[in-house]
Amino acid sequence: MFSLLVLLEEGREMVMVAVCISFGILFTMSSLEEPLGFDKLPSMSTIDRIQRFSAGACRPRGDDRGMGNCWIEGRSCSTSNSCNEDYEEYTGEAFPWRRHVRDVSEGEAFHRRASSLSKNRMKFGHVSDSRYLSDHQYSSKCSDRDIRDITNKFLKGMPRFVKIVEVGPRDGLQNEKNIVPTSVKIELIRRLVSSGLPVVEATSFVSPKWVPQLADAKDVMKAVCDMEDARLPVLTPNLKGFEAAIAAGAKEVAVFASASESFSKSNINCSIEESLVRYRAVCNAAKELSVPVRGYVSCVVGCPVEGAIPPSKVAYVAKELYNTGCFEISLGDTIGVGTPGTVVPMLEAVMAVVPVEKLAVHFHDTYGQSLPNILVSLQMGIITVDSSVAGLGGCPYAKGASGNVATEDVVFMLNGLGIKTNVDLAKLRSAGDFISEHLGRQSGSKTAIALSRVTADASKI
């Protein structure tokens, strides 16, 4: 006995279709116990509202498993749930994230569904129990070519190379309660540079009163400023910090503004407009010395005080920093509340006023959304990603903000996508293990933890 119950809704009318197949007998009746013709089927608009692309849409049902090759005849992916039916596809052109629907008229789609239903009906009507027919195998209409086409569309907008900006020594350590020795910070930077990372943010020239962990910025910078294998920018909140950084040997600096008025006042004790005035002074001084300036925008998706941040506000601050002279703008989800659904409109707004090649993304992993957010950012044309070794981080002025996305996890994902980073994952993992051991806790990188287990298991063999 095989039974199928389908509940379809058309406006306020409910139609119940009960299909009972037993020894080749087919019964079809509506809720009014009368034959259900094609003229009584719901309209396409209703059918389209029914979720057809579930995980098991093109797989045998649970009651068919264990039957070897004896699938029920006619159970191949019909047009009611076919993988190659009219579907929404992502294009890799100028805006790869925008959806386009195949141009299929409502009547044509309905005709295919009706024809499929009719064919299945004929098949079920003349067999005694097709469950036991060994010569009819389950088949899928998803050809290898279809799969390749989908894969190509997904990967079409991906970059071949992604620049990773390591922020662990600064953004990663600034929130640590116990002071990390200067020697440990210096060794961490050396290990990160040796792993192949092209940019490692070394420290921050802020007041020790506000961030005690980075009070040794001068000593750290003097010890690493001669490294030639990577750029070592430092954070400077104002002109005074910029001058101190240059005196310590810094060759690149960064400034940071916020898209949230409340966060700006709590973080740097001034309004957004006041902060932009400060940074114009920094950029002007840097320009005279030919020192590159990177700009950060925090709270690009949400603020711990104001909640959701409008994309237009993020675009405004990013544009102002870019026009001030920042060569690159890093967009930071400071409290990690972003999802692809909120990151996309934010990036769209910013990309309308700042060239995409001048943008970077900076995600905290509070809700585990960093990698999906990075992935969709890459599809939109972003080629620079900020991350922190071992998932270190958090902001002292953003309650609830967890660590940054782990650099090891980012590199592992990019390797899997065939995207080059020139980073040696083994050496990177070693640097993460080094700082995690010193901090007395497990690495915040899922990749590092998994690889450690694999290594440990292999040693037992």
Active site residues: 395
Sign of dihedral through CA atoms 365, 368, 373, 378? Answer: positive
* CA pair distance 194, 108, nearest whole angstrom: 60
248: helix, strand or coil:
coil
Which residues have C-beta within 8 Å of that of residue 240, sequence separation ≥ 6? none
Look at the chain and count its residues: 461
Please say whether the beta carbons of 260 and 306 come within 8 A: yes
The residue type found at 342 is T
Which residues have C-beta within 8 Å of that of residue 161, sequence separation ≥ 6? 383, 419, 420, 421, 422
User: For residue 29, which of 37, 2, 129 has the smallest C-alpha distance?
Assistant: 37
Q: Which residue carries 């063999």 as its tokens?
A: 461
User: For residue 309, which of 319, 351, 237, 317 has the smallest C-alpha distance?
Assistant: 317
Estimate the crossing angle of helix 407-416 against helix 370-379, to 10 degrees.
50
Burial class (CB in 10 A: 0-12, 13-18, 19+), 446: middle
Alpha helices in 97-168 (DSSP H): 106-125, 144-155
* CA pair distance 51, 60, nearest whole angstrom: 17
User: For residue 316, which of 294, 286, 342, 295 has the smallest C-alpha distance?
Assistant: 295
The residue type found at 200 is V
171: helix, strand or coil:
helix
Number of helices and strands in the chain (H, E): 14, 16
How far is CA 214 from each of CA 80, 122, 207, 297, 451, rounded to the nearest angstrom?
61, 77, 9, 21, 31
Q: Which residue carries 């060994």 as its tokens?
A: 134
